[in-house]
Structure 1
């Protein structure tokens, strides 16, 4: 069986995920600015720690979005689910950009930003994994890692664009409102994503789940190990990224180690490094099993975590930047192949739900709590090196889960994999 995927369909899937991480990176980069505007406190650091609760709540909405959009994708088609999530992302992103600050409407500003960020997180739950499943379902087995990593590079390219726009917005406009333009632009990009996704072709492997009589109960009953694997992979795909981008860099900026502009430039450098890593994985590792690439990433992050955090305690910021780049690049060894890996452990009739729910639940549980846990470890010890306990625990756990899972069984179902040809 051979299936041709037009360029506009691949681009439509990739564009949506790119916009997702554009919005995600904007929130992270602007966090030191947004925190006092919506979470006023006695100090910038206290405002920042309050904003981590918002980050956590919005992350909790992801697995719920994974279930809902996954249901749509498994019952009514991947195309409809991807289109629906894009509508929600575009609306919530524009809404964030026009929400008045705390000084203008008081507590309603905090409630509004919480509502819109949660809605955004809910829609993100059906985005990356859905797009990943969509494109990988068109791929020949030997090309799955290539396509998965290529899509992930588009995702991180969105982060590059978001950070670059943030740099321009703060340099050319007032920091008090320049960030609003960046979010509104993201919403307008979302409208372009909606237009492009209306032309998507349906996945050749889509099988309406209601006709096959497969439900969530059977998913949990027959695929518990696979769901646990997706849970840890989702967590590890986001925790190193969250550690560096959401916790370490903003904390260092609020403590005066570098300015907000320096923070944005470092974020931009890290995002570019991630894209380079993903493209390299796509072209040079496509013949390797995703499982092996992901295991290698776990080992490298274990080795890098200690020097990364020791360099901060020793005030060697140049070494910190170098190790942060290496950590993010190692992280992409897990993130890049994740769509290919998850596609091969779940059957088509509830693949969208299973992969989105397990991956997003891991993102929410581990990624959402990471700033809170790492701040707790730092406050208790007054040493950033204590954070290595959290990073090593998650990497070791994920490494074990990946190694124990037998992906050779390929869903316990023999599925014919159509070849991918982008024309």
Structure 2
């Protein structure tokens, strides 16, 4: 009879992954470019929402036009969880690289399609229907894009640099948003507002096609992540958990065994993305429609804010590798709760310097969240379910956050209270604070289910020493628990008359 015990070998230097710098740089570039294209569309869409309302919903009240255009932005978030489940299962079965190549193709084609849709005056009700279909195709592909990209970077990154390297993913997000907004301003300035509303708004969407082709080229040139390769090797050696025929862990089981990670993921994503969409998607319409501020001037202020965010983003990631991710979630949530109303007081003032200061406050708080999100989320789940579990939780959370522009616009219009967005952010801040206080720290630790990863052999030796120290500490803790249980057993035995 065979023994059921599995022999475990001591962990040595050969068990630590040494990350190839060239491959790592390619992985980060390819992942960030896809994310930049996703947010390029968000930037363009947010800044031309007022035009899209006139093109696709003519004849309606200006307030209704804006809400309808923003609703078209929000509705595709309903389809994102389906895309997340679909691409997540594929990513855990076939690998991260193949799925990311597919998502960027769908994203680029659907974004380009928006620029080709005729106006309502030309084809009637089919215009908004086609716009919605294009946005839903985007939503389906984006459902697997960000989570796949964050996992790709996290599984390539060394343990001690995961925060810094992961921060470049959202650097790509902000850069894409700045590029989209900047192109809108440039085209509008060159051809004039009338021509921009007539046909110029289509041009930014056409740029998604060459961006997508470049992203596809870069992603096809990549190798699979080291963590996933290790997982496949284990399966080939007889450990069939998780991959054969697709992930064998149901979402119900994930929710049972990893419910703490799911809740943490939802809290972080809601706090981050509500703030993101409030600042970068809703604020341009808020400034122009509700505060009657010049569209171009409002856009320029937000672009300047976002350029500043680009420089802060990697710094947050770098510091998080030193002090951890939790402090940024906690401090960012407290700051958002305390400063939301003061920030909107400055924005509502109507003075350009104070508007800039109010938006800057929200931007700095947002940096605290996005600077650590891409490195925090992938560390919550083991390798064989990481893509499917994270994609499901992330996209359900984004479904909530994606309603932010529409709900904020509706709340302001129905209550005539310009501070409603601030109250909205305060509720979200409470969610972020609860999440930060209860989450486990993930900085400087190996990904769950993966070997430790280092930049070089010297760092690998340090990681191995830290790992051995951690094992020794765990053994001492277990020994202490055993001694405590033995003492308790002895006490109970003494209380029983027939047990020696």
TM-score, normalised on structure 2?
0.79
Residues 29 and 264, structure 1, Cα contact 8 Å, conserved in 2: yes
Seen in structure 2, the aligned counterparts of structure 1 residues 256 and 312 have a Cα distance that, compared at 3 Å, is closer
- Is 2:18 the counterpart of 1:2? yes
**Which piece of structure 1 moves more, 318-327 or 131-140?**
318-327
Q: Which of residues 119, 125, 131 in structure 2 aligns to 1:113?
A: 131
- Alignment partner of 2:422 out of 388, 393, 413: 388
> Does 2:228 align with 1:210?
no
**Structure 1 partner of 2:330:** 295
Listed one character per residue, the Cα deviations across residues 182-220 of structure 1 (whole Å, up to 9, x for unaligned) are 110122211111111111110111136323733323212
Q: Which runs of structure 2 are paired with 1:324-335 in the superposition (5 Å)?
A: 324-335=359-370
Root-mean-square deviation over aligned CA pairs = 2.2
Alpha-carbon contact 1:291-1:341 (below 8 Å) kept: no
Give the equivalent residue in structure 1 for 2:274.
239
Question: Helix, strand or coil: the match of 2:340?
Answer: helix
Give yes or no for contact 1:138–1:417 (8 Å, CA) kept in 2: no
Contact 2:349–2:355, Cα closer than 8 Å, also in 1: no
Spell out the pairing of 1:115-194 with structure 2 (5 A cutoff). Answer: 115-173=133-191, 174-175=195-196, 176-194=198-216
DSSP 3-state at the match of 1:265? helix
1:44 correspondence with 2:79:
no
Matched, 1:267 2:283: no
Structure 1, unpaired ranges of 5+: none
On the 8 A contact 2:80/2:399 being kept in 1, the answer is yes
Deviation at 1:273, TM superposition (A): 2.4
The alpha carbon displacement at 1:380 in A equals 4.2
After TM superposition, list the pairs within 5 Å mapping 1:403-418 onto structure 2.
Answer: 403-407=437-441, 413=448, 415-418=450-453
Matched, 1:57 2:91: no
Q: Which residue of 1 aligns with 2:39?
A: 21
CA displacement at 1:27 relative to structure 2: 0.7
Q: 1:2 to 1:320 in 2, by over 3 A?
A: same
CA contact (8 A) 2:159 2:446 kept: no
Choose which of 281, 285, 294 in structure 1 pairs with 2:316. 281
Relative contact order, higher structure (CA 8 A, sep 6+): 1
The question of whether the paired residues in 2 share the 8 Å contact of 1:138 and 1:419 is answered with no
| Counterpart position of 1:228 | 263
The 2-side partners of 1:54 and 1:3 are apart by 42
Return the offset for 1:224.
1.5
Displacement of 1:93: 1.0
Q: Does the residue aligned with 1:336 lie in a helix, a strand or coil?
A: helix
In 1, distance between residues paired with 2:140 and 2:298? 28
Q: Which residue is equivalent to 1:360?
A: 395
Give the SS at the match of 1:320: helix
- Greater C-alpha radius of gyration: 2
Aligned pairs (5 A) from 1:320-359? 320-359=355-394
Query: Alignment length, in residue pairs?
Result: 420
Which of 109, 124, 127 is equivalent to 1:91?
109
Q: 1:400 aligns with which of 408, 415, 434?
A: 434
- 3-state SS of 1:40 partner: coil
Which moved further from structure 2: 94-103 or 389-398? Answer: 389-398
8 A Cα contact 2:164 2:318, kept in partner: yes
